[in-house]
Structure 1
Amino acid sequence: MATKTKSTKVAKKPAVKHIGLVKNDAYLQPYEDAIRGRHDHALWKLNVLTNNGKTKLTDFANGHKYYGLHKTTRGWVFREWAPNATAIYLVGDFNNWEENDKYKAKRIDEAGNWELKLPTKAMKHGDLFKMHVYWNGGMGERIPAWATRVVQDEETKIFSAQVWNPEPYEWKKKTFKPNKSPLLIYECHIGMSQDAEKVGTYNEFRENVLPRVKADGYNCIQIMAIQEHPYYGSFGYHVSSFFAASSRFGTPEELKALIDQAHKDGITVIMDIVHSHAVKNETEGLGNLAGDPNQYFYPGERHEHPAWDSLCFDYGKDEVMHFLLSNCKYWMEEFHFDGFRFDGVTSMLYYSHGLGEAFCNYGDYFNGHQDDNAICYLTLANLLIHEVNPQAITIAEEVSGMPGLAAKFKDGGYGFDYRMAMNIPDFWIKTIKELPDEAWKPSSIFWETTNRRSDEKTISYCESHDQALVGDKTIIFRLIDADMYWHFRRGDENDRVHRGIALHKMIRLVTASTINGGYLNFMGNEFGHPEWIDFPREGNGWSHKYARRQWNLVDNPELDYKFLGDFDHDMLQTLKLEKNFQKTPVQEIWHNDGDQILAYMRGDLIFVFNFSPTRSFTDYGFLVPTGSYDVVLNTDAKKFGGNGLSDDSITHLTNYDPAYVSEHKEWLKLYIPARSAVVLKKN
C-alpha cells in the first residue's frame, strides 16, 4: 500500500520592486543600487536642510533675504558669510571710500557670518560701494557675494556694487501659467538683440524684439547672460555676481518690465542660469572672497575647470548649497522668471567634466566617476524650483546622455522637466559636412530626431547659439556660405542658394515636427541670419558688428530672408493645429532610403519629406487613415521661396483598397517634388 506523503508548498520569493527609472528601462537593472544610492543621498540631504521635514526646502533657500544689503524700517543691514575674514569694512561714495569704524562689520557667530547695521542716512540709493576684507596675511577689495546690483564704470571699467532701493516695481501681470503645448523657445541675448552696433537694452528688447517673438508664434523666451559677468564676450557664462542682473542692459526694474510684458503677451520667460562654475576673478567675483580660495569652491585638483578657465563649486558644502538654492528662488520671486535652463550640467555630473569621455554604455554613468554632490544639488534645485512654482520649467543642457536626468524624482530621476536633445544639432552638422545630398538617409534622420528615452521629455533644436559662434557655422552658412552675400536677393538666386533655402526649411520642419517636449531656435536663425557671432574684443578692435541681429534683412521683402522667416512662422502655426502636439505619438508611415522619402503622422497631421535632390515622384502612395486631406504647409510654396510645383488648393482623397478595409486605411497618393516637404491635415 502506497504511503501518502504530505505535500510541502514552496514559498514564492516576493517580486522585486524596482525603482521607477529601472521599471521603465530594464537595462538599468545592474545599476539600480547606484540609482537608489543617489536618490537616498538626495533624500538624506533634503532631511538635513529641512530639519527632517519640519520645514520646507523653500524655507532653507532664503539666503538672499538675510545676506547682502537690505533696507529695513530701522535703517540698513548688511551681512556676509566670510569664515576666513578677520575684518570687513564697507567703503563707498557714502564715506569717501575710506575705512572707518562706523562702517566696520562685526563677526556674529562661529560659522563666519558678519553683520553691519547702519542708520537710514548712512547711505542712499545709487551709492557705489565695495568691501575691504582682511584675513591673516592679506587684504582685498571685494564685491559682496550676495550683491543684487553691480555696475561698471565706463571709463575705468571697474565694477562696484551699488545701493539699490527704488520704488518697488508694480507688476501688472501678477500671475502667469506657462504654455507648454508645445513649448516653443526663442533663445535670445539682450545685448546683441538690436540692429545697431552697440549693446542693446532690456527696454529695447521689450519694445523691438518681444513683438517679433509673439508675432512669430513662439511662446517662450530663454534669456542668456542675465547674471552679471565681467567679460561681455563670455556670452554670460563666466558669472561674477550671481544675484545681480547685468547692468549692461539696464536696471532691474527694466528687466522686470520686460518679463511683465512677456507674461502679458502669453510668453514664458526662462533664464539661462549658470551654476556649473564661476569666473576666477577675485575683485569682482567669488574667487578669493576672504583669503580662502576654497570658500565656495572645491579644493585641490577639482578647484579649476581645465577647459573653461573657471572655478568649480563645492556642492558638498551646505553653505554653497544655500547660496545656489537661494539664487534659484531669488530669480523666481524677485523677477518672476518661470524657470531655468541649467548650463553646463555635464560638467557638473562628472569629475572629468565629461572631457575625453565617450559615454558608450550605461556603465559609463555609474562607474564611480560621477560627482554625487553635484547630482544631489541638481536634484534639490529641481525640487525647490517646483516647490516655489509647480508650473515652473527646468531644462538641462547635458551632452553625455545621463539616464534619469529629466525623469521624476520619485522614480529615481533628477527632476528636470526637459533635457536638451544635443544629438540633433550634431547630427545635422555631420550630415551637411560629410554627406552628399544623394546619401541623406530618411531612416537616419527619423532615428536621430526621435531617439530618446520614453520617460524623459526633450527640447529639440537644429542649432542654438553654440553653432553661431566664431569658429563654427550656422546651418544657413554651411549650406550657402559666401553666396549669401551675392545671391540672396529675390530673382538672383543660384543653385546653391535654392538648395540652401530648401534644406533649411526641411531640416527645421523635420526637427520641430518630431518633438516630444519642445522646440528651440536661437534669435535670428529662424530667418537664416548671416555671418557668425563675435563679441567685442581686442582681436576685432572691440567691434559690435557681429554682436547684433540685423532685423532689417528679414523685413526687406526683396531679400530671401523673408521667405525663411515667413516659413518659420507658418511652421509653428502648423504644429499648433494638433492639440497637445508634443504628446501625440510620432507614427512612422513609410521610409525608403533609396527614394529618400520619409512620412509619419501625428494625430490628424501627416508629414511627407522628399530629400532627393533630383527626383520628383508622381502618385507616390502611403497607407493612411481613410478620409480627405488638405495641405496646410508646403516648403516648396512660392511664398516660402520654393518652386510652387504643386497645387496646394486640392483636397486629397484616399483611394480604396479592399486589403486594408479592416485597418480603416486607404492609399494617399501625392506628387512630391524633389527636395521638398508637405504637411497635410485630415478633414
Structure 2
Amino acid sequence: MNSVKTYTLFTDHDVYLFKEGRHYKLYGKFGAHSVEKEGIKGVYFSVWAPNAKKVSVIGDFNNWNHKDHILFPRWDGSGIWEGFIDDLPWGTLYKYAVETARGDILEKSDPYAVSWEQNVQAASLVSTTWYEWSDREWMENRWKKNNLKAPISVYEVHLGSWVRDKEDPDRFLNYRDIAKKLVPYIKEMGFTHVELMPVMEYPYDPSWGYQITGFYAATSRFGSPQDLMFLIDRLHKNGIGVILDWVPSHFPGDANGLYRFDGSHLYEHEDPRKGFHPDWKSHIFNYGRNEVKSFLISNAMFWLDRYHADGLRVDAVTSMLHLDYSRNEGEWEPNIYGGNVNLEAKAFLQEFNTAVYKEFGEDIMTIAEESSDFPMLTKPVHDGGIGFGMKWMMGWMHDTLDYFKEDFSNRKFHHHKLTFASMYMYNENYMMPLSHDEVVHGKASLIYKMRGDEWQKFANLRTLYVYMYTHPGAKLLFMGDEFGQTNEWNFTQSLDWHLLEYPVHKGLQILVKELNHIYTSESAFYENQFDKSSFEWVEADDLENSVYVYLRKGKKRDDVLMIILNLAPKVLDYKIGVHTGTHWEVIFNSDDEKYSGSGVQPEILEEKYEEWRGYQKSIMVKLPPLAGIILRQNKDKKYKLHRIKHKR
C-alpha cells in the first residue's frame, strides 16, 4: 500500500514559469518542505524527473525501500513528481528512488535539499533554512558598501584551511567556531568583503568545493545551514560583505547527483561536445533547456535571498561562453553563425544577471571569473552586454606577476607589463585578483614568486600590494598572502600563522592592513574607480630606472593622490612633473621600518617652477629602494614653500 498522499505546492502558473525557464524561486516549491495536511504535520516532496517510470521516496524511515512511498506524477506533463508523507521529523535521511525507462533503479539525492549527509552515501536531510537574522541594519544600508562607487577590498577564504582545530588538525571547525576567529580578523585587517570559496555541498575535498552535488545545501562538513547563516550574520553585523563562489558551469558525475538524473541527460547537455568538460571530467549544464535555467537562476536567488549573500562570484565563465574551450579542432561544433560563442550560455548569463539585479538592485554584485577578452561582459544587457557587475582582471594579474618575477637588470625589457593594463582598464568594471589559483599546483606562494634575496622578495611584494591597492578597480587577496605565506596553499591544513612571529611577515601584514585603511579612507582611490577621469600617467616610460608615477583623482578637483613605484633596488633622487598650484606631502611609504623595510624616508627635496615633461613645474623626490610611496595633494591653501625640505 502506498503511504504517500496527494499534495502540491505548485500552481498552474508555477508550472508554466518553470517550463518557460522563468521561475526564479523554485526553492519554495521543489525539495522537502514541512507542511500540514488536514491537521496532520508531515513533509511534502517534489522532484523533476520527466523520463522516469516511477519515483519513490526512500530513507531511514522506511529502510530505504523503494516500494512503500511512491510519488504521484502531475497530470500536466511537467515531469514533476510530488506527494505528502506524514510524521517525518527534522533530520530524516532520504533520497529519491528513480526508476528509469529501462527499468533501472537510481538512488538520487534531492537536487533542492538544503542539507546533505557528509559521507559516501550523501543522503539528503529533511531540514530548513529558517533563521532569526539580526543583520537588518546591514541589509537596509548595504547598497552603500556593494555599489561600484564604494571601496571593495575582498579577502578570499577557503573555510577548511583558513584555520583548523589546534588539538585535532584533521578536524574541521564549525561555521560558528570559524566566525569567532574570522570575523574579528577581517575587521581588524580592514577588508570590506570576504569571498567564501564554495560552501555548497561537495563530495570531494581536493575539488575545493568546485565540484558541487548539492547546489542548495550548505556543506555539512562545517555544520548546519543555520551555522553558516550565523557566520554571515556576524560578518554583516561587523560591516563586512559576503561574496559566495557560485558554480553554474559544471557538476560531477557522482551516482547520487544530477548526472543522468532520471536515466536521461536531464541537467547536462546530451552532446558531449557541449555537455562534458574534458579538463575537469565533469558535466556541463544544458543552458538551452528552460527547466535547467529555472533551476540555476533559482539557485542564485536562493543564496542571495535565504543566506543574505551580498554577491556571487561566478566561476569558470570563460568555459561557459566558449564552445571550443579546452577543445581541439573537430572536438567542438560552431554555433549557427559559425562562431565559437555558446549562444545558449550567453543568453543564460544575461538572463541570470537581469533577474538578480532586478530582484536586488545595487544591494548585490555579480562578478565573473573570465580570462578571455569576451566583449561587454560588464555592460548592461539592454545594450548587448552580459550584465555582470564586475569581472576579474586576469590580464593584469598575469602581467604583474610576470614582471615581479623578472631580475632587476631585465625589468627594463618588461617595463610595459605594468602599464599595459591602462590601455584597457576602463573597457570593463574590473576586480584585480591575487587568488588561490596563483599559489597552488607548483606555482609557488606569492612571496616566492618575487625576485631577489629575502629582503628584496618582501620589498617587492610590499610594492606589488601598493601597486594593486592604488590601481583603478576593486581588490581581491587570497588568505595567507597578507602575511607572506611561504608554502603553497594546502587545503588539508591551516595557514602557517606561526610565521607572524617573524618581523618580515608581521610587517607585511601591517602593511596590508594600512593599505586597506588608505584605500577605504581616500575617496580618490574608489569613488571614480571605473571612470577614465580617475587616472593619469605622469611617468610611464622610464625603462632605465624602473620607475612609474601616476595620479588617482576623486570627484573634487583637489582630491588627488600621486603614486610613485621604484622597482629598482637602489635609492633615487627623482624629478617629477606636477601642475602649477599643487603642493604635495608623503602619506605612505612601503619601505618604512614598521613594515620591515630599510627605513629610507621619502622626501620632497626640491620644488621648482620650471616645466618638466609637459607639466608647468617639478618636484624632486627621494625614492626608497623597491618601494611604493603615496603623496597627497596638500589641501591647505596657506601652504608655504619654506615647509619643503630643499636639496642640500
Same fold (TM over 0.5): yes
Instruction: Give the corresponding residue for 1:550.
Output: 496
Q: Find the partner of 1:606 among 533, 549, 562.
A: 562
Residue-pair matches, total? 586
Deviations 1:536-566 (A, max 9, x none): xxxxxxxx3xx32233322x2x442101100
Question: Cα distance 1:628–1:195, how it changes in 2: closer, same or farther (>3 A)?
Answer: farther
Q: Find the partner of 2:624 among 656, 667, 673.
A: 673
Instruction: Give the corresponding residue for 1:221.
Output: 194
Q: Post-superposition shift, 1:372?
A: 0.5
Structure 1 position 382 matched with structure 2 position 382: no
Instruction: Give the corresponding residue for 1:185.
Output: 154
Q: Post-superposition shift, 1:576?
A: 2.6
2:236 counterpart SS class = helix
- Indicate if the aligned counterparts of 2:131 and 2:229 stay in contact, CA closer than 8 A: yes
Structure 1 position 644 matched with structure 2 position 599: yes
- CA distance in structure 1 between the partners assigned to 2:338 and 2:445 by the alignment: 36
Question: Cα distance 1:50–1:158, how it changes in 2: closer, same or farther (>3 A)?
Answer: closer
- CA distance in structure 2 between the partners assigned to 1:146 and 1:580 by the alignment: 45
Q: Find the partner of 1:171 among 133, 136, 145.
A: 133
- Indicate if the aligned counterparts of 1:194 and 1:548 stay in contact, CA closer than 8 A: yes
Q: Find the partner of 2:546 among 561, 576, 596.
A: 596
- Indicate if the aligned counterparts of 1:190 and 1:201 stay in contact, CA closer than 8 A: no
Q: Post-superposition shift, 1:619?
A: 5.0
Q: How does 1:439-588 map to 2 (within 5 A)?
A: 439-441=410-412, 443-452=415-424, 454-461=426-433, 463-479=434-450, 496-516=453-473, 518-535=474-491, 544=492, 547-554=493-500, 556=501, 558-579=502-523, 581-582=525-526, 583=528, 585-588=534-537
Gaps of 5+ in 1: 1-48, 358-362, 481-494, 536-543
Deviations 1:300-344 (A, max 9, x none): 432211111000110000010110011011111110111200000
- Indicate if the aligned counterparts of 1:570 and 1:633 stay in contact, CA closer than 8 A: no
Q: Find the partner of 1:306 among 264, 278, 294.
A: 278
Instruction: Give the corresponding residue for 2:607.
Output: 655
Deviations 1:460-491 (A, max 9, x none): 13x210012232212212237xxxxxxxxxxx
Residue 100 of structure 2 aligns to which amino acid in structure 1? W
- TM-score, normalised to structure 2, is 0.85
Q: Post-superposition shift, 1:50?
A: 11
- CA distance in structure 1 between the partners assigned to 2:124 and 2:498 by the alignment: 37
- Indicate if the aligned counterparts of 1:296 and 1:313 stay in contact, CA closer than 8 A: yes
- CA distance in structure 2 between the partners assigned to 1:679 and 1:58 by the alignment: 51
Runs of 4+ aligned structure 1 residues displaced above 4 Å come to 49-52, 354-357, 363-367, 658-661
- CA distance in structure 2 between the partners assigned to 1:51 and 1:143 by the alignment: 22
- Indicate if the aligned counterparts of 2:393 and 2:431 stay in contact, CA closer than 8 A: yes
Question: Cα distance 1:588–1:443, how it changes in 2: closer, same or farther (>3 A)?
Answer: farther
Q: Post-superposition shift, 1:51?
A: 12
Residue 375 of structure 1 aligns to which amino acid in structure 2? K
Question: Cα distance 1:322–1:460, how it changes in 2: closer, same or farther (>3 A)?
Answer: same
1:131 counterpart SS class = strand
- RMSD of the TM alignment (CA)? 2.7
Instruction: Give the corresponding residue for 2:98.
Output: 133
Question: Cα distance 1:409–1:113, how it changes in 2: closer, same or farther (>3 A)?
Answer: same
Deviations 1:584-606 (A, max 9, x none): 51111113111111111112211
Question: Cα distance 1:666–1:576, how it changes in 2: closer, same or farther (>3 A)?
Answer: farther
- Indicate if the aligned counterparts of 2:547 and 2:567 stay in contact, CA closer than 8 A: yes
- Indicate if the aligned counterparts of 2:483 and 2:506 stay in contact, CA closer than 8 A: yes
- % identity of equivalent residues: 26
Structure 1 position 161 matched with structure 2 position 124: yes
- CA distance in structure 2 between the partners assigned to 1:337 and 1:84 by the alignment: 35
2:296 counterpart SS class = helix
- CA distance in structure 1 between the partners assigned to 2:252 and 2:184 by the alignment: 34
Q: Post-superposition shift, 1:84?
A: 1.2
Question: Cα distance 1:416–1:365, how it changes in 2: closer, same or farther (>3 A)?
Answer: farther
Instruction: Give the corresponding residue for 2:408.
Output: 437
- Indicate if the aligned counterparts of 2:575 and 2:618 stay in contact, CA closer than 8 A: no
Deviations 1:81-107 (A, max 9, x none): 001111111111222222343x21011
Q: How does 1:220-259 map to 2 (within 5 A)?
A: 220-259=193-232
- Indicate if the aligned counterparts of 1:193 and 1:200 stay in contact, CA closer than 8 A: no
- CA distance in structure 1 between the partners assigned to 2:154 and 2:423 by the alignment: 21
Question: Cα distance 1:637–1:268, how it changes in 2: closer, same or farther (>3 A)?
Answer: same
Structure 1 position 209 matched with structure 2 position 182: yes
Q: Find the partner of 1:348 among 305, 320, 326.
A: 320
Question: Cα distance 1:476–1:664, how it changes in 2: closer, same or farther (>3 A)?
Answer: closer
- Indicate if the aligned counterparts of 1:450 and 1:514 stay in contact, CA closer than 8 A: no
Question: Cα distance 1:393–1:356, how it changes in 2: closer, same or farther (>3 A)?
Answer: farther
- Indicate if the aligned counterparts of 1:195 and 1:550 stay in contact, CA closer than 8 A: no
Structure 1 position 72 matched with structure 2 position 22: no
Question: Cα distance 1:171–1:365, how it changes in 2: closer, same or farther (>3 A)?
Answer: farther
- Indicate if the aligned counterparts of 1:194 and 1:204 stay in contact, CA closer than 8 A: no
Q: Post-superposition shift, 1:271?
A: 0.7
Q: Post-superposition shift, 1:251?
A: 0.8
- Indicate if the aligned counterparts of 1:470 and 1:534 stay in contact, CA closer than 8 A: no
Stretch of structure 1 that moved more, 565-574 or 575-584: 575-584
- Indicate if the aligned counterparts of 1:619 and 1:670 stay in contact, CA closer than 8 A: yes
Residue 673 of structure 1 aligns to which amino acid in structure 2? P
Residue 521 of structure 1 aligns to which amino acid in structure 2? L
Question: Cα distance 1:658–1:673, how it changes in 2: closer, same or farther (>3 A)?
Answer: closer
Q: Post-superposition shift, 1:380?
A: 0.7
Instruction: Give the corresponding residue for 1:274.
Output: 247
Question: Cα distance 1:384–1:526, how it changes in 2: closer, same or farther (>3 A)?
Answer: same
- Indicate if the aligned counterparts of 1:407 and 1:455 stay in contact, CA closer than 8 A: no
Residue 494 of structure 2 aligns to which amino acid in structure 1? R
- CA distance in structure 2 between the partners assigned to 1:408 and 1:455 by the alignment: 13
- Indicate if the aligned counterparts of 1:219 and 1:266 stay in contact, CA closer than 8 A: yes
Residue 562 of structure 1 aligns to which amino acid in structure 2? K
- CA distance in structure 2 between the partners assigned to 1:244 and 1:406 by the alignment: 29
Question: Cα distance 1:448–1:601, how it changes in 2: closer, same or farther (>3 A)?
Answer: same
